[in-house]
């Protein structure tokens, strides 16, 4: 995958029959879709890694719970955004706001565990959550403009 100038999702958007009517900025959209799906994978993995921290799992209960919520919310947001045929802007805006809230809450929690307990998977996860939070914020900014 390393030598591809464009990701598979980018190529899908470029070949979509209704992409010409898209109300979205293509760069912001592509970045947000990729951030959502990456965050969904990383949060699924972080919930599992926290569960596998046999000595610390008790302190990671809230983190696991937020990871599971964030994984589900990011998956759904990515799917809604990837669909370009006749979008409903009210639904998209509300789902982006939910995604932003989930990534903020999960990123804050993971960052704490990265800093205080040196949880390296939480450090990677906090980074993906921040990236997704910012991508959602940027998309929302573009929509209300």
Name which of 87 and 142 has its Cβ closer to its own copies: 87
Using CB under 8 A, which of 27, 61, 116, 141 touches its own copies?
Answer: 61
Token digits of residue 75: 């998956």
DSSP letter for each residue of 68-126 = HHHHHHHHHHHHHHH--SS--HHHHHHHHHHHHHHHHHHHHHHHHHHHHS--HHHHHHH
Give yes or no for residue 126 binding its own copies (CB under 8 A): no
- Residues 15, 31: Cα–Cα separation, whole Å: 17
- Residues 35, 132: Cα–Cα separation, whole Å: 5
Residues of this chain, 26-55, that bind its own copies according to CB under 8 A = 33-34, 37-38, 41-42, 44-49, 51-54
Give yes or no for residue 73 binding its own copies (CB under 8 A): yes
Give yes or no for residue 65 binding its own copies (CB under 8 A): yes
Using CB under 8 A, which of 28, 105, 117, 143 touches its own copies?
Answer: 105
Give yes or no for residue 83 binding its own copies (CB under 8 A): yes
Give yes or no for residue 117 binding its own copies (CB under 8 A): no
């Amino acid at each position: 995958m390393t030598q591809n100038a464009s990701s598979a999702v980018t190529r899908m958007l470029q070949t979509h029959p209704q992409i010409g009517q898209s109300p979205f900025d293509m760069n912001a959209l592509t970045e947000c879709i990729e951030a959502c799906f990456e965050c969904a994978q990383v949060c699924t993995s972080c919930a599992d890694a926290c569960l596998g921290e046999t000595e610390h799992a008790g302190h990671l209960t809230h983190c696991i719970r937020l990871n599971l919520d964030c994984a589900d919310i990011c998956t759904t947001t990515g799917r809604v955004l990837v669909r370009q045929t006749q979008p409903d802007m009210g639904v998209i805006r509300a789902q982006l706001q939910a995604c932003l809230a989930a990534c903020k809450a999960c990123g804050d929690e993971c960052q704490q565990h990265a800093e205080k307990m040196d949880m390296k998977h939480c450090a990677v996860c906090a980074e993906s959550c921040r990236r997704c939070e910012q991508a959602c914020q940027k998309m929302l900014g573009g929509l209300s403009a």
